[in-house]
Copies of this chain bind each other. A is one copy, B any other.
Amino acid sequence: MECMATLGLIEYSDASPEVRAVYDDIMATRRTDWINNFWKAMAHDPATLRRTWESIKQIMAPGALDAVTKEMIYLAVSVTNGCTYCIASHGAAARKKGLTPEQHAELVAIIGLANETNRHAAALDLQIDEQFR
């Protein structure tokens, strides 16, 4: 194992049984027949691969919030952090789970607005109102 960023991606055919088990679970859970680069790059570190997948599987499954809402929250964070890969992968996931173009447009508008007013609040050095506590 060399540096992950330059080692490239571990394909299914080259993966250890431990890694294959995670790949299999990803494909079964998502009902797809391929693995995206995020997992193939992370597979150089099987412990982090497994822990991250287990967290995503648990947290992103429908619960008190539905699956599309969860993907929108994920996208709001990813856009705020400027994570190009994450915007692409979770944008695709959101659409696959049913995000409509109209919802996507409103999502983008809210993300922009919140980033604007967050900075207004910082610049104005606001005290939190009693009513919000």
Size category of the A interface is 35 or more
Contact in complex: B65, A107 (CB < 8 Å): yes
| A7 to B: closest C-beta gap in Å | 8
Q: Among the listed B48, B79, B104, B114, which residue makes an inter-chain contact with A78, where contact means beta carbons less than 8 Å apart? A: B114
A27 close to chain B: CB less than 8 A: no
- Across the interface, name the chain B residue whose C-beta is closest to A105: B45
20 A-B pairs with CB atoms under 8 Å apart are A5-B125, A38-B120, A51-B58, A63-B102, A64-B102, A64-B105, A65-B106, A73-B73, A74-B110, A76-B80, A77-B118, A79-B119, A83-B122, A84-B122, A85-B127, A86-B117, A108-B120, A111-B120, A112-B117, A116-B116
